Amino acid sequence: MNNQLIIVLLFSALSSFGQTQRITSPGGTVIMEFTLNNDGRPFYNVSYKNKEVIKNSALGIQFADGGIINNLEVASLDTCLINETWNPVLGEVKTIRNHYRQLVVKLIERGNVPKEMNIIFRVFDDGVGFRYEFPGQKNLSHFVVTEELTHFQLTGNHKAWWIPADYDTNEYPYTTSLLREVDGKKVSERHTEIGTRVVKDDSGVQTPLMMKTAEGIYINIHEAALVNYPAMQLHIDKSKNDLISRLVPDYTGNKAYLQTPFATPWRTIIISDKATEILSSKLILNLNEPSKIKDQNWIKPTKMVGIWWEMHIGTSTWDYAGTQDMHAYVETSKLKPSGKHGATTTNTKKYIDFAAKHGFDGVLVEGWNVGWEDWYGKWKEDVFDFITPYPDFDVKELNTYAAAKKVKLIMHHETSGSVTNYERWMDKAYDFMKKNGYDAVKTGYVGKIIPRGEHHDGQWMVNHYNRVAATTASNKIMVDMHEPVRPTGMHRTYPNWVANEAARGNEFNAWSIGNPPEHETILPFTRLMGGPMDYTPGIFQIKLDKYGKKDNYVHTTLAKQLALYVTMYSPLHMAADLPENYEAHPDAFKFIKDVAMDWDDSRILEAEPGDYITIARKVKRSKKWFVGAITDENRRTAIVPFDFLDKGINYVVTIYRDGDDAHWDKNPMSYKIEKYQVDAGTVLKVLLAEGGGFAASIVPATQNNIKNVKKYE
């Protein structure tokens, strides 16, 4: 008889009402308790290092015709301990340990038409995941979910980093406030630049929600494996410090249409007394299904440049006629080229040359296909067909040209929110890509969704994003989605889903009030908890008055733009600025050329949400390391012990830091590059300017690279 079985028997003997089932994480730090109250309603609570984190909180799901909430009894309890490892295809570390204790509570309704529901809890040393499961059963087949009634009752009015509970966009700056001060209306009204804003609950927030208790415990609430279900938002019951799940509805107000057997996404609570451990948690990835893709050698890290920033700063246009005419449809044959079109054959060749010269994998080209005169704001069904280029963009010629230079063209599919149209074109569009040498696509969902009344974060759209991940996978295409629902670790299951935007990217600095200097210190604790982000870093020409944009600029120093390649994990990154701006700073550009995007190991060295982050990462199958450190609007000294390096080996570090007089607002482009000999005993101290950062590469010393390089003291 094995241990697992002994535990199962023990629990069945305890399964009467009112009994508390207690599950302890493998290392004992996290304890979860499950009970049924007198009404037969399930409750759970969570503690961390003997401190209560989630008070006794109710569980349950409401259906159009009732639901599974009260009147339940425990049919059986089952527990087991899992300790295994797995290797992500692309990732922050080579090997991930999945170590948890599981409790499966089988519940059955009392009464004449009893329904069955299981709640599965997994208790890790850094938190808890749980989901509702509805097995195939006689009395429950098709059902409609009208709300999920999961509570997360907190122990106090914690500090939170939040964005409002918007059904259609997550492209907000974060507000830091106590939970009771959350006011979605105030925030959403200020950000009118987001055209698709729909906020119904002013006391609601989106997840991942990052919080910190007065005692210094960090709590992150999100979800894992969002499949066939809407995104979960959290309504705050301010009188009780209670967070209550609210699912994003469809146009009828319903939340999900389901059929048994079905399991909801996992609700995740990551807990630590160290902010660094929140960032290194693999709980969400562990709760996702293993890769569905067997042959994975076509999934590669992708560093790209592209015809992109020039449209955002307005020096060229997506559309051929240069009208950006949002009001009148003009037939393509009647359009006159404006001379400002970005995606021309000539311009694309220039970018291919640049990519080839500097070792980039790809060139993204936006605005290559007809429809951009008419794409935005009209809620129109058939804007793009995804296969018809503008007359000045020669797909065949460019494919041959790029192939000869060993550079990949990266496809762009802006759906303008018309998803029914995209679904009609998808197969043909992917076929077109494969025939023309493209193996990665950036998709986009700007605007209101068609089918009209659906939301970006509802069940229908969640199914769409997952369908795109699966269909691109079967075509061996990597995908990077812009404006999708925020990720939930599904890149484990579809490793070809290499990145998402799903938050406020660097582009906002080009045409809005921008992203405050603290923005990039919050994103890893919120949006990136669910997966990699295509943030589009690497802007060197920080002030945009050079392009006639007096009010717009990037709210960081140049050195911080470099650090983002390390602090903002993604296997797909863009060097977003114009080639000429890189050519003006070849020494700083070297960092972007060198930096890796796939790692054997990652060490979160210092972190505090909203303040600073310092991360060191070891390159996959290499002895090289890269370091990135960023700060908010405050100056600080990053202290980086190099004890992660192999002992007894000398290395050369190249530091790309803020100039002594640098400042994100007053003097953002001042930077300095220094080289030193270092080893595992070195403790690096680097001053980060206001809104600044530093980046560093560390390579084993060779006779050549240490010539004239002094020791770091």
Positions annotated as catalytic residues are: 507
**Cβ nearer to ligand NOJ, comparing 43 with 565:** 565
* 652: its two tokens: 């050369």
Report the C-alpha gap between 40 and 56 in whole angstroms: 14
- Whether 568 and 626 have beta carbons less than 8 Å apart is answered as no
Residue 465 binding: pick among Ca ion, ligand NOJ, none (C-beta 5-8 Å cut-off by kind): none
**Cβ nearer to ligand NOJ, comparing 507 with 600:** 507
What's the min distance (Å) between Cβ of 17 and Ca ion? Answer: 51
CA dihedral 492, 497, 503, 508 (to 10 degrees): 150
**Nearest by Cα to 521 from 636, 663, 631:** 631
**Cβ nearer to ligand NOJ, comparing 63 with 320:** 320
**Cβ nearer to ligand NOJ, comparing 383 with 559:** 383
* H or E stretch at 105: strand 96-109
Rg from Cα positions in the chain: 26
446, exposed or middle or buried, with CB in 10 Å at 0-12, 13-18, 19+? middle
Report the C-alpha gap between 408 and 258 in whole angstroms: 41
Count of Cβ atoms closer than 10 Å to residue 679 Cβ: 17
**Cβ nearer to ligand NOJ, comparing 158 with 412:** 412
Under the rule (CB under 6 A), what is the footprint of ligand NOJ? 308, 366, 414, 444, 446, 482, 501, 505, 507
Which amino acid, 148?
A: E
- Whether 582 and 602 have beta carbons less than 8 Å apart is answered as no
What's the min distance (Å) between Cβ of 683 and Ca ion? Answer: 40
- Whether 711 and 574 have beta carbons less than 8 Å apart is answered as no
DSSP 529: G
Residue 600 binding: pick among ligand NOJ, Ca ion, none (C-beta 5-8 Å cut-off by kind): none
136, exposed or middle or buried, with CB in 10 Å at 0-12, 13-18, 19+? exposed
- Whether 381 and 422 have beta carbons less than 8 Å apart is answered as no
Question: For helices 586-594 and 558-567, what crossing angle results, to 10°?
Answer: 10
- Whether 245 and 293 have beta carbons less than 8 Å apart is answered as no
Residue 414 binding: pick among ligand NOJ, Ca ion, none (C-beta 5-8 Å cut-off by kind): ligand NOJ
**Residue 474 phi/psi, 5° resolution?**
-70, -15
What's the min distance (Å) between Cβ of 444 and ligand NOJ? Answer: 4
What's the min distance (Å) between Cβ of 418 and ligand NOJ? Answer: 13
What's the min distance (Å) between Cβ of 483 and Ca ion? Answer: 5
297, exposed or middle or buried, with CB in 10 Å at 0-12, 13-18, 19+? exposed
Residue 444 binding: pick among ligand NOJ, Ca ion, none (C-beta 5-8 Å cut-off by kind): ligand NOJ
Under the rule (CB under 5 A), what is the footprint of Ca ion? 482
What's the min distance (Å) between Cβ of 445 and ligand NOJ? Answer: 9
Place of tokens 């950036």: 442
**Cβ nearer to ligand NOJ, comparing 235 with 312:** 312
What's the min distance (Å) between Cβ of 122 and Ca ion? Answer: 33
**Cβ nearer to ligand NOJ, comparing 531 with 692:** 531
Residue 109 binding: pick among ligand NOJ, Ca ion, none (C-beta 5-8 Å cut-off by kind): none
